[in-house]
Amino acid sequence: MSTKDEILSLYRVGERVRLIKSIRNDGTYPYAQVGDVLIEAGAEGYVRKIGDFLQTIRIYEVNFFEEGFIFGCREAELESALEEDGYDEVAEELRWIKEHRASRVAQRAAQSQEEGE
C-alpha cells in the first residue's frame, strides 16, 4: 500500500462517503476537456468496490448517484459521511452478535438444566 493509505481500508463496500476535493478530468474522461471539474467537492456517493492500482495504491470505486458518475478515488480524497445519516452498520452487527450469543448461552443453560433434572 501507499504510505498515505492505512493498512486496512478505511471504508467498506456500501459505505456512504463524501468527496474532499473536486475531481478534474486528467484526460482519461473523453467527454470533457482536460482540467474540467467532473464532480465538485462535497458530492456524496457509495463505495462499490475496493481495489488496488499497481498493487500499491488503494482505490475505492465510488458511485455518485446524483451526479450520475462512477469514479475511482484515493483514500485521501474521501471522508466518511456516516455521521450524517446516523447509521453505523458495524455497531449494529456487533450489538446483534452480542444479543445472539447471550440468548444461545441462556438456551444452553436451560437445556442443560432440563437434562440434569
pLDDT tens, position by position, 9-50: 778 888 889 899 998 888 888 888 998 988 888 888 899 988
Minimum mean pLDDT among 1-5, 23-27, 104-108: which range? Answer: 1-5
In terms of domains, do 70 and 104 share one?
Answer: no
In terms of domains, do 77 and 92 share one?
Answer: no
In terms of domains, do 34 and 64 share one?
Answer: yes
Alpha-carbon separation of residue 49 from 56, 96, 109, 113 (angstroms): 16, 26, 43, 49
In terms of domains, do 44 and 78 share one?
Answer: yes
Angle at 29 between CA 63 and CA 31, to 5 degrees: 105
In terms of domains, do 81 and 92 share one?
Answer: no
Total tally of structural domains belonging to the chain: 2
Residue 71 lies in domain: 1-86
pLDDT tens, position by position, 90-99: 788 889 999 9
Q: Which residue has the cell 458518475?
A: 69
Compare 106 and 115 and report the one with higher pLDDT.
106
In terms of domains, do 62 and 115 share one?
Answer: no
